Chains A and B, each alone.
Chain A
Amino acid sequence: EIVLTQSPGTLSLSPGERATLSCRASQSISSRYLAWYQQKPGQAPRLLIYGSSSRATGIPDRFSGSGSGTDFTLTISRLEPEDFAVYYCQHYVSSPATFGQGTKVEIK
């Protein structure tokens, strides 16, 4: 089973700041099968990024994804008030398609 480890656990930032979230895989994975989600309280997750760097439909361009091998990054260039939420990465290389434990982006 591929384990995804996200860091940091919590990121305290102000609106307008840049957020950098990390997702590290326990073994090298194809970047084609790495996704990022945003989840707000009481809501289902929303797909932000798939294929490690492609934005899903309707996702603003302040969200970007990058990485390869074992290290992947989600960057939010300038935080908007609606971006404060929990973010998860997920791989789809093999079964089980595990999620990382999440990074909470909170208002400083």
Chain B
Amino acid sequence: QVQLQESGPGLVKPSGTLSLTCAVSGGSISSSNWWSWVRQPPGKGLEWIGEIYHSGSTNHNPSLKSRVTISADKSRNQFSLKLTSVTAADTAVYYCARVNDYGGNDYWGQGTLVTVSS
């Protein structure tokens, strides 16, 4: 059973950088899957942030412009998200997930709330 666990600071100051890590167990990020980040502002819907393949290939949501960096650490079996120049609009629950062969996210972390506030 694949399990994912997000970790990182729950509070980030405006204009700062949000950094989260997703630790994967019960499976390998070097498998033939993409690994994604999704966020959900309080009381709102889901927003796809981006994804990474173990080769290092990434895709990300253009709406976040160049603020997003997704990276992978195969030795630690984890992948990470960095979002720069954050504002209150980036306050959300951030989820990491595994992407199956059809694009569906079949395994999810429990999510972590990140609040942007001074």
Contact = CB atoms under 8 A, between A and B. Distances in A.
Interface of A: 1, 32-33, 35, 37, 39, 44-47, 49-51, 54, 56-57, 88, 90-93, 95-102
B95 A44 contact: yes
B47 A99 contact: yes
Contact of A90 (B61, B104, B106): B104
Interface residues of B, number: 26
A57 B59 CA distance: 27
A51 B102 contact: yes
Contacts of B50: 95
B108 A90 contact: no
B95 to A, nearest CB: 6
B15 interface: no
A35 B100 CA distance: 11
B45 A101 contact: yes
24 contacts: A35-B104, A35-B105, A37-B105, A39-B46, A44-B111, A47-B100, A47-B106, A50-B103, A51-B104, A57-B106, A88-B46, A92-B102, A92-B103, A93-B103, A95-B61, A96-B48, A96-B59, A96-B61, A97-B51, A99-B46, A99-B47, A99-B48, A100-B45, A102-B45
A51 B59 CA distance: 21
A105 B99 CA distance: 26
A97 B45 contact: no
A35 B103 contact: yes
A58 to B, nearest CB: 11
Given A45-B46, A47-B104, A99-B46, 8 more contacts: A33-B102, A33-B103, A45-B105, A88-B46, A90-B103, A90-B105, A95-B62, A96-B48
Nearest to A49: B104
B63 interface: yes
Nearest to B47: A99
A33 B48 CA distance: 15
Given A35-B104, A45-B105, A99-B46, A1 B62 contact: yes
